[in-house]
Amino acid sequence: MISIVLEPQMQSTPGGLWLAVAVLLPFVGMMIGLCLGGRHVRRVALLTALLGLALAVVIASSWLHADGPLVYVLGGWSPPLGIALRADGPSVVMMLAVAVVVCGIGVFAYADFDTPAGKAESRSPFTYWLLLLAVWGSLNLVFVSGDLFTLYVALELLTFAGVPMVCLDGKSETLRSALRYLLFALCGSVLYLLGAVLLYGGYGTLDIVLLSERIQPGVIAWTAAALMTVGLLAKTALFPLHIWLPPAHGGAPAAASAVLSALVIKGSWFLVVRLWFDVMPGVVTLPSAQLLAAMGATAIVVGSVVALRQERLKLLVAYSTVAQIGYLFLMFPLAFDAAGNALAQDAALTAGVLQAVSHATAKAGMFMAAGLVYAALGHDRIADLAGVARALPITVLAFVVSGVALMGVVPSGAYLAKKLLLDAADQSGQWWWTIVLQGGAVFTAGYVVLVLVNALRRPAEPISTVKRVARSSELAALTLSVASLLLAFAALGPVPGDLIKNPLAPEELVTTLLVLLGGGALAFALARSPLAGSARVGAAAAGESVRRLVRPIGTAFESADGFVRRWPSASIGLLTLAALFGWLLLGGTPH
């Protein structure tokens, strides 16, 4: 009998079992909820969420004490035959963040998604809680899976749990959005599976660690990388593949939109990160990473401008998600090592994960706030929000805080992430990303200012609310938004502290002021309804001429967005991008 010396990542580590439990727990909760049914579901779900949060903390602490990633080898069969669950830094952080956000969303939805009195069970609350747990379990599987096929299954589970959330109300409009979402996501997942199959054919394993040792730049790896990346981008809805996102996220109930926007898209984004950083760091090339980030930059500009053109608050927030997804891809070219040959797991990756966490918390808070406004007023027309700040002060505060967190001004998690990326851009001499990073904040500020100005306006007549919103829901939204700001304290831990000198230094305040002013100007020029309302006549007239001048720009962005969101252009775009990625991978090989 030959004794095989197992590599460190091929056998279970202490605490590794928790990873399996973390995947199982939400699904067990879902099964229990399904069996108990009716009014018990939400209690089961909330209890599971709290248990899961505790579990995530346990995993994080055992990861901190362990030397290297946590590993659990299922059934004792080590890869390549068996399947390993692995948790490294990014997965632990994402698991923790998702657990926090799920708890927040659970508290928010607790009052809203209750079975109506006199009924044993009603469809939409019952389904909502089960789907919430399913999304969470699938996400945990995405974060800890150690091989590309398990990741495929996890990703499909995530889609199957996310799609029905879009059409909880069963109206034909939302059913249509859900179907579009599902079909486009399926298109992406077949491309991903095709890539995984090619990799198996080429290298005889799908285990991430083994694959990263065996993989060589070559036709198989390039084709697989291009297909898998583009397939995942379709699921993440990175511009111009966001065909399904705005109607799906804008039409779903707020508690569901928060899940979809804050959590579900992070699953496929995380998989892109896994693929590029862990599986093929030496195969991907700088030009292909530049393309990825260029798509991100376009997403920021188009998403933000179209967000400004929206009439309804929830659609504005949905388009802001389109823009924010762009931010998540800016780190890729900045993470290349000095020679530009391979991706390095350094500060840029930390920044990317920080950005994802900060977006997850802030966007959940923002969608909740938008949902509360809708629930209280019975509508969410941005032009008619006057007086809402007085009626719902906590909600509007939550919206503003989450907006500030998304902008990345001092102090917030996104601010730290931006600093890290700016630093990486300086060091690698990629000055163009400095412009995108600084300018992106102005675009984000635009739609936050737009909403804020409308919400703070004095109403012509006293505002009438159709429903009292639960205080617990308002506080949940505020807590998640504030959590996003508090991520700035990450500077004390994993982020090098010398980057952040003094957040209250004059130059930082000037930057913040410039961002807000720029955002205000953008909102003034491009918003659909006049920002200033009926201000002084002279100023209004001058402003109106400016608005008339830039109106074609706004409509041009809108029609561009409408064009790429048609099915044929989106799917042809998908194939073109796959070809483009393949070509850039081919062209950038180091000789």
Partner 1 sequence: MTVETLYGLCAAGLVGLGLYGLIVQPHPLRKIVAFNVMGSGVFLLFGALARRGAAAGLNGDPVPQALLITGIVVAFSATALAVALVVRLIESSGSASLSSEPPSTDSHKPPTS
Site string for partner 1, 142-171 (x = CB under 8 A): -------x--xx--x--xx--xx--x-xxx
Q: How far is the CB of 73 from partner 1 (least distance, A)?
A: 16
Count of residues interacting with partner 1 (CB under 8 A): 61
**CA–CA separation, 225 vs 296, rounded Å?**
18
The answer to whether 384 contacts partner 1 (rule: CB under 8 A) is no
Q: Is residue 248 within 8 Å of 154, Cβ to Cβ?
A: no
Write the CA distances from 107 to 113, 472, 536, 542, integer angstroms.
10, 7, 44, 47
The answer to whether 387 contacts partner 1 (rule: CB under 8 A) is no
Nearer to partner 1, 53 or 175 (CB): 175
Q: How far is CA 549 from the centre of its chain?
A: 34
Options 15, 26, 90, 246; binder of partner 1; rule CB under 8 A:
246
The answer to whether 216 contacts partner 1 (rule: CB under 8 A) is no
Nearer to partner 1, 390 or 547 (CB): 547
Site string for partner 1, 448-477 (x = CB under 8 A): ------------------------------
Span near partner 1 by CB under 8 A; candidates 8-16, 59-67, 102-110, 569-577: 569-577
The answer to whether 182 contacts partner 1 (rule: CB under 8 A) is yes
The answer to whether 580 contacts partner 1 (rule: CB under 8 A) is no
The answer to whether 123 contacts partner 1 (rule: CB under 8 A) is no
Q: How far is the CB of 159 from partner 1 (least distance, A)?
A: 8
Q: Give which of 235, 262, 261 is closest to 99, Cα–Cα.
A: 262
Span near partner 1 by CB under 8 A; candidates 400-408, 443-451, 496-504, 554-562: 554-562
The answer to whether 266 contacts partner 1 (rule: CB under 8 A) is no
The answer to whether 309 contacts partner 1 (rule: CB under 8 A) is yes
Write the CA distances from 158 to 185, 186, 238, 245, integer angstroms.
11, 12, 17, 15
Q: State both tokens at 97.
A: 């963040």
Q: Hey, is 275 helix, strand or coil?
A: helix
**CA–CA separation, 249 vs 345, rounded Å?**
32
Helix 123-144 vs helix 89-112: crossing angle, to nearest 10: 170
> What are phi and psi for residue 12, nearest 5 degrees?
-65, 145
Instruction: Please tell me the number of Cα atoms within 13 Å of 570 on its side-chain side.
Output: 27
Q: How far is the CB of 168 from partner 1 (least distance, A)?
A: 10
The answer to whether 137 contacts partner 1 (rule: CB under 8 A) is no
Instruction: Please tell me the number of Cα atoms within 13 Å of 329 on its side-chain side.
Output: 31
The answer to whether 317 contacts partner 1 (rule: CB under 8 A) is no
Nearer to partner 1, 489 or 563 (CB): 563
Please list the alpha-helical segments (H only) found in 412-490. Answer: 413-428, 431-456, 471-486
Q: Hey, is 27 helix, strand or coil?
A: helix
Nearer to partner 1, 101 or 316 (CB): 316
Nearer to partner 1, 124 or 434 (CB): 124
Nearer to partner 1, 115 or 310 (CB): 310
Q: State both tokens at 389.
A: 């700040």
The β-bridge partners of 381 are 312
- The DSSP secondary-structure symbol of 147 reads B
Tell the burial category of 414 from Cβ atoms under 10 Å away from its Cβ (0-12, 13-18, 19+): buried
The answer to whether 556 contacts partner 1 (rule: CB under 8 A) is no
Q: C-alpha angle 483/486/489, rounded to 5°?
A: 145
The answer to whether 183 contacts partner 1 (rule: CB under 8 A) is yes
**CA–CA separation, 469 vs 381, rounded Å?**
18
The answer to whether 378 contacts partner 1 (rule: CB under 8 A) is no
**CA–CA separation, 232 vs 520, rounded Å?**
35
The answer to whether 306 contacts partner 1 (rule: CB under 8 A) is yes
Q: How far is CA 135 from the centre of its chain?
A: 14
Options 20, 179, 344, 514; binder of partner 1; rule CB under 8 A:
179
Nearer to partner 1, 169 or 346 (CB): 169
Span near partner 1 by CB under 8 A; candidates 43-51, 96-104, 129-137, 308-316: 308-316
Nearer to partner 1, 190 or 539 (CB): 190
DSSP β-ladder status, 70-73 and 84-87: antiparallel
Site string for partner 1, 499-528 (x = CB under 8 A): -----------------------------x
CB-CB neighbours of 550 under 10 Å: 13
Near partner 1 in 76-105, by CB under 8 A: 80-81
Q: How far is the CB of 49 from partner 1 (least distance, A)?
A: 25
Nearer to partner 1, 153 or 539 (CB): 153
Q: Hey, is 536 helix, strand or coil?
A: coil
The answer to whether 218 contacts partner 1 (rule: CB under 8 A) is no
The β-bridge partners of 207 are 147
Write the CA distances from 206 to 57, 76, 460, integer angstroms.
29, 18, 63
Q: How far is the CB of 251 from partner 1 (least distance, A)?
A: 5
The answer to whether 281 contacts partner 1 (rule: CB under 8 A) is no
Q: How far is the CB of 98 from partner 1 (least distance, A)?
A: 22
Write the CA distances from 511 to 248, 275, 505, 518, integer angstroms.
35, 35, 10, 10
Q: Give which of 268, 246, 262, 279 is closest to 156, Cα–Cα.
A: 268
Options 571, 580, 583, 586; binder of partner 1; rule CB under 8 A:
571
Options 14, 68, 201, 218; binder of partner 1; rule CB under 8 A:
201
Write the CA distances from 36 to 33, 45, 107, 135, 431, integer angstroms.
5, 11, 20, 20, 58
The answer to whether 10 contacts partner 1 (rule: CB under 8 A) is no
Q: How far is the CB of 160 from partner 1 (least distance, A)?
A: 6
Nearer to partner 1, 173 or 426 (CB): 173
Q: Give which of 320, 330, 381 is closest to 352, Cα–Cα.
A: 330
Q: Can you give the binding site for partner 1, defined by CB under 8 A?
A: 80-81, 149, 152-153, 156, 159-160, 163-164, 167, 169-180, 182-183, 186-187, 189-190, 193-194, 197-198, 200-201, 204, 206, 246-247, 250-251, 253, 306, 309-312, 315, 528, 558-559, 561-563, 565-568, 571-572, 575
